[in-house]
Amino acid sequence: MTIIGQLNVMIIGAKNLPSLKPDGTLNSFVKGCLILPDNRQLKQKTPVLKKKSCQQWNHQLVFSDVLLCELLDSCLDITVWDHAAFGLTDRFLGGVRLERGILSTDSRDMVEVASGQPWQNILRRPNTWNDTTLTLHPNMEYMMKT
């Protein structure tokens, strides 16, 4: 029997994000990208918080029509951005990748992988909320292409 469901990710907030503005405010938002084993990408994003110094989105990202067995070999990229003015490029502030596996610190990979533990906890306990605090890494340059 194939179980089709959804992955719900509640984005609460972020602390200590870098700002280039003198008043320390940002026009921030969060992108979530669930990358499935067949390389299909399910994307969601939060609304933009305009001119805020304290980032509190309290927004739920919902990735629908996902097979539970697909999640075992999937990864979730969570990135935070500063929304740019019309015609300019949004500025990457930080991100994290949740996936099964180990921490990658090889600079040639240009990837910082979160410990597999949060992702494993999520997969081990379906239909329950898992409260996890993640550290964003500023060097996920490969994500700027998405």
- So what's the pLDDT on residue 3? 78
Nearest to 139 by CA among 93, 75, 99: 93
Q: What pLDDT, in 10s, does the model give residues 2-61? A: 778 899 999 999 998 988 888 889 999 999 999 999 999 999 999 999 999 889 999 999
Query: Is residue 45 within a helix (H) or strand (E), and if so which, with residue range?
Result: strand 41-45
- So what's the pLDDT on residue 103? 40
Q: What pLDDT, in 10s, does the model give residues 48-103? A: 999 998 899 999 999 999 988 888 889 999 999 999 988 899 999 999 988 876 44
What torsion, rounded to 10 degrees, do the Cα atoms 44, 126, 124, 39 define? -30
- So what's the pLDDT on residue 90? 93
What torsion, rounded to 10 degrees, do the Cα atoms 129, 32, 114, 41 define? 110
Identify the band that residue 141 occupies on the pLDDT scale cut at 50, 70 and 90.
low
In whole angstroms, how far apart are CA 84 and each of 8, 14, 89, 105? Answer: 27, 19, 6, 30
Q: In the predicted model, what is the mean pLDDT of the chain?
A: 83
Q: pTM of the full predicted structure?
A: 0.83
pLDDT of 115 strictly over 90: no
pLDDT of 104 strictly over 60: no
- Of 8 and 106, the structure prediction assigns the larger pLDDT to 8
Please check whether residue 52 is in contact with residue 22, taking contact to mean a CB–CB distance below 8 angstroms.
no
